Amino acid sequence: MGILREMLDSHLGKIMGVVLGLLFGWFAIKYGLFKALFVAVCATAGYYIGKRLDENFDFKGLMENLFRERH
C-alpha cells in the first residue's frame, strides 16, 4: 500500500489527466465530439461552481449584479 500512496502523492495530476483524457475519448467515440464537448463544458462549470462554493463565494451578490435593472 505504501508504493501506491507514494505514486498517488507524486503523480496525482498526471493520473487524473490520463483518466479524464480516456473518459473524454470514450465519450467522443460513443456519443460524438459535440456531445462530448458539451459534457466537458458542463463538468468544467460544475467544478468551477463547486470550487466557488468551497471558497464561500457570494453567489447571491453575483446574481444580483448580473440581473439588476439597468438604466
DSSP output for 5-46: HHHHHHHHHHHHHHHHHHHHHHHHHHH-HHHHHHHHHHHHHH
Does the reported pTM lie above 0.75?
no
Asked whether 59 and 52 are in contact (CB, 8 A), the reply is: yes
Q: Band of the pLDDT at 56, cuts 50, 70, 90?
A: confident
pLDDT at 57: 76
pLDDT at 63: 77
pLDDT at 6 over 70: yes
pLDDT-above-90 percentage for the chain: 25
Average pLDDT of the chain is 84
